[in-house]
């Protein structure tokens, strides 16, 4: 095949085509979906990425950029007969400028590595997805990833200053720059969150923040999930703007305990609230928070006395997703948003749906911004259980829409949610998005089949 000959000439042994070599790339963290690509290429320089895209374009072959493959929506699933451009070897931090508080990184740099390298300068990279020890900045940019601390600091989009991108047509463009104040339209902002549909990020300029002077981390146990949800509304009504507000329910607590022994109290629900900033501001906030939590019906309240106790609280929360694997052979991680004033209502309804479908649902989520992550537990070996779990997960998304929210907060649409796009947007809105895609990618090569529902589904 001509395309394979050209890729071989460029990549040599870094072109993978054998069945055993391709197997690790067949799916991402949404393992229910699987697809065999034609080939995987492992570029080590951005020029090779550009050349790979140009070769694909000449042959009309679709391609998928891949970071660490932790997408939970099938975003980095290969396209059948297409090429996977795996970016993990592009993992250099090209520039770290403490004075300008920015870093220029290659797309395969792992999220946590940016903060690790910025730490000696008292700086860090704020967006903190739970996958941050593994997921890449390129993947984070594509999905506009968030994390526990995005409540105060915003998502990835708020921390990207500029991008170098290869478009699906093989052109290299620079979007944005190094400053917070750009001139003209916010094109780099436009690129963030487009799920690899408009090209591949080759270099990313990131904003770094000074490390907060102080933290105050509170853990409160509640007799019900709704009570914890109500407490979130109280905290936000009080005028406090914590760094993070997270909730875990009983199943998630049990899983986290079994996995990392975080030392959590036994409870129906746990609320984690973290204040951060200058020492005085945090001390004042802590007094206010204590009053609010005292009035919220918490059964037990703990305050982290030192950094080790703070880390223990976060370790349990950050491990909760993967820890749920201990409770069930299979699970679907759902990602939807509700207005935070309607959290308690949403949680009640999820409990009712869980009973109606006869499937357990564990909840662990970014409560401060209403971003729910119900984990639907099922056993794929039992006939019909996957279908039931998918139907329940779908009902939860519809619930989010009914309450005025969104079908995704941070995991993207990918493959998993493309059928729901038409429930959130009108045909006119979807057509406008498709026109943008077609304008920049007339052959539909970049991440073909993702995000937009296939025509027969869209008009069903």
Ligand X SMILES: Cc1cc2nc3c(=O)[nH]c(=O)nc-3n(C[C@H](O)[C@H](O)[C@H](O)COP(=O)(O)OP(=O)(O)OC[C@H]3O[C@@H](n4cnc5c(N)ncnc54)[C@H](O)[C@@H]3O)c2cc1C
According to the binding rule CB under 6 A, does residue 28 interact with ligand X?
yes
Using CB positions, name the residue nearest to ligand X: 139
Q: Which of 410, 405, 407 lies closest to 418 in space, CA to CA?
A: 407
- Rounded distance, CA 90 to CA 138, Å? 10
Using CB under 6 A as the binding rule, the residues of this chain from 200 to 259 that contact ligand X are 200-201
Nearer to ligand X, 131 or 354 (CB): 131
How many residues form the binding site for ligand X (CB under 6 A)? 37
Which of 37, 146, 277, 374 touches ligand X (CB under 6 A)? Answer: 146
According to the binding rule CB under 6 A, does residue 82 interact with ligand X?
no
- The window from 64-72, 115-123, 182-190, 217-225 that contacts ligand X (CB under 6 A) reads 64-72
Q: How far is CA 8 from CA 35, 45, 51, in A?
A: 22, 16, 12
Ramachandran region of residue 176, left (φ > 0), alpha (ψ -120 to 50) or beta? left
According to the binding rule CB under 6 A, does residue 282 interact with ligand X?
no
Which of 62, 168, 176, 196 touches ligand X (CB under 6 A)? Answer: 196
Nearer to ligand X, 285 or 340 (CB): 340
Q: Which helix (H) or strand (E) holds 209?
A: strand 209-210
Pairing assessment for the beta strands 172-176 and 102-105 based on DSSP bridges:
unpaired
Q: How far is the CB of 414 from ligand X (least distance, A)?
A: 6
Task: Tell me whether residue 381 is exposed, middle or buried, using C-beta atoms within 10 angstroms of its C-beta: 0 to 12, 13 to 18, 19 or more.
Answer: exposed
Q: How far is the CB of 78 from ligand X (least distance, A)?
A: 10
Q: How far is the CB of 79 from ligand X (least distance, A)?
A: 10
The mark string for 157-186 relative to ligand X (x by CB under 6 A, - otherwise) is: ------------------------------
Nearer to ligand X, 143 or 378 (CB): 143
Nearer to ligand X, 15 or 150 (CB): 150
- The window from 55-63, 69-77, 177-185, 437-445 that contacts ligand X (CB under 6 A) reads 69-77
According to the binding rule CB under 6 A, does residue 129 interact with ligand X?
yes
CB atoms within 10 A of CB 376: 26
CB atoms within 10 A of CB 386: 16
Are the CB atoms for 224 and 269 separated by under 8 Å?
yes
Q: How far is CA 53 from CA 369, 379, 426, in A?
A: 37, 40, 32
- Rounded distance, CA 206 to CA 95, Å? 10
- Rounded distance, CA 19 to CA 22, Å? 5
Which of 43, 82, 138, 176 touches ligand X (CB under 6 A)? Answer: 138
Are the CB atoms for 374 and 361 separated by under 8 Å?
yes
- Rounded distance, CA 387 to CA 385, Å? 5
Nearer to ligand X, 194 or 296 (CB): 194
Nearer to ligand X, 87 or 337 (CB): 87
According to the binding rule CB under 6 A, does residue 410 interact with ligand X?
yes
Nearer to ligand X, 62 or 212 (CB): 62
- Rounded distance, CA 42 to CA 8, Å? 11
Using CB under 6 A as the binding rule, the residues of this chain from 294 to 353 that contact ligand X are 321-322
Query: Looking at the DSSP assignment, which residues form a beta bridge with residue 406?
Result: 337
According to the binding rule CB under 6 A, does residue 68 interact with ligand X?
yes
According to the binding rule CB under 6 A, does residue 131 interact with ligand X?
yes
CB atoms within 10 A of CB 167: 17
Q: How far is the CB of 278 from ligand X (least distance, A)?
A: 27
Which of 43, 78, 83, 130 touches ligand X (CB under 6 A)? Answer: 130
- Rounded distance, CA 200 to CA 86, Å? 11
- The window from 17-25, 33-41, 142-150, 172-180 that contacts ligand X (CB under 6 A) reads 142-150
- Rounded distance, CA 277 to CA 218, Å? 15
Nearer to ligand X, 174 or 302 (CB): 174
- Rounded distance, CA 269 to CA 440, Å? 47
Which of 115, 205, 363, 447 touches ligand X (CB under 6 A)? Answer: 447
According to the binding rule CB under 6 A, does residue 449 interact with ligand X?
no
According to the binding rule CB under 6 A, does residue 29 interact with ligand X?
yes
Query: How many CA within 13 A on the CB side of residue 213?
Result: 7
Which of 43, 67, 212, 405 touches ligand X (CB under 6 A)? Answer: 67
- Which residues form the interface with ligand X (CB under 6 A)? 28-29, 64-72, 75-76, 87, 107, 129-131, 135-136, 138-140, 142-143, 145-147, 195-196, 200-201, 321-322, 410-411, 447
């Amino acid at each position: 095949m001509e395309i394979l000959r050209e890729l071989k000439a460029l990549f040599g042994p870094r072109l993978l085509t054998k069945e055993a070599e391709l197997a690790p790339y067949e799916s991402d963290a949404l393992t229910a979906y699987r697809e065999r690509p034609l080939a995987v290429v492992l570029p080590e320089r951005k020029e090779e990425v550009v050349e790979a895209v140009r070769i694909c374009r000449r042959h009309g072959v679709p391609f998928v950029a891949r970071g660490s493959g932790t997408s939970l929506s099938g975003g980095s699933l290969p396209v059948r007969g297409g090429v996977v451009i795996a970016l993990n070897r592009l993992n250099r931090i090209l520039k770290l400028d403490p004075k300008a508080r920015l870093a220029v990184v290659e797309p395969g740099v792992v999220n946590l590595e940016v903060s690790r390298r910025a730490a000696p300068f008292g700086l860090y990279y704020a967006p903190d997805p739970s996958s941050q020890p593994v997921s890449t900045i390129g993947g984070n940019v594509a999905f506009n990833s968030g994390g526990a601390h995005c409540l105060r600091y915003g998502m990835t989009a708020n921390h990207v200053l500029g991008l170098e991108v290869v478009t699906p047509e093989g052109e290299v463009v620079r979007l944005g720059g190094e400053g917070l104040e750009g001139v003209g339209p916010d094109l780099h902002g436009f690129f963030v969150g487009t799920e690899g549909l408009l090209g591949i990020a080759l270099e990313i300029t990131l904003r770094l923040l000074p490390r907060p002077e102080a933290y105050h981390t509170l853990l409160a146990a509640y007799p019900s999930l709704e009570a914890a949800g109500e407490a979130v509304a109280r905290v936000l009504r009080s005028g406090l703007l914590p760094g993070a507000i997270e909730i875990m329910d009983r199943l998630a607590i049990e899983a986290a305990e079994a996995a990392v022994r975080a030392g959590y109290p036994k409870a129906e629900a746990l609320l984690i609230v973290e204040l951060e900033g200058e020492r005085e501001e945090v001390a004042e906030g802590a007094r206010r928070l204590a009053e609010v939590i005292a009035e919220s019906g918490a059964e037990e309240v703990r305050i982290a006395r030192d950094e080790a106790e703070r880390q223990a609280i976060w370790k349990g929360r950050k491990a909760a997703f993967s820890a749920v694997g201990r409770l069930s052979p299979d699970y679907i991680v759902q990602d939807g948003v509700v207005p935070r004033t309607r959290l308690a209502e949403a949680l009640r309804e999820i409990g009712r749906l869980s009973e109606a479908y006869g499937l357990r649902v564990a909840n662990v989520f970014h409560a401060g911004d209403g971003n729910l992550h119900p984990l639907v537990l099922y056993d794929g070996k039992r006939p019909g259980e996957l279908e039931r779990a998918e139907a329940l997960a779908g009902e939860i998304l519809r619930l989010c829409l009914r309450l005025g929210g969104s079908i995704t907060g941070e995991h993207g649409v990918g493959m998993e949610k493309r059928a729901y796009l038409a429930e959130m947007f009108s045909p006119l809105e979807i057509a406008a998005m498709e026109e943008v895609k077609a304008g920049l990618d007339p052959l539909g090569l970049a991440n073909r089949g993702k995000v937009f529902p296939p025509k027969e589904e869209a008009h069903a």
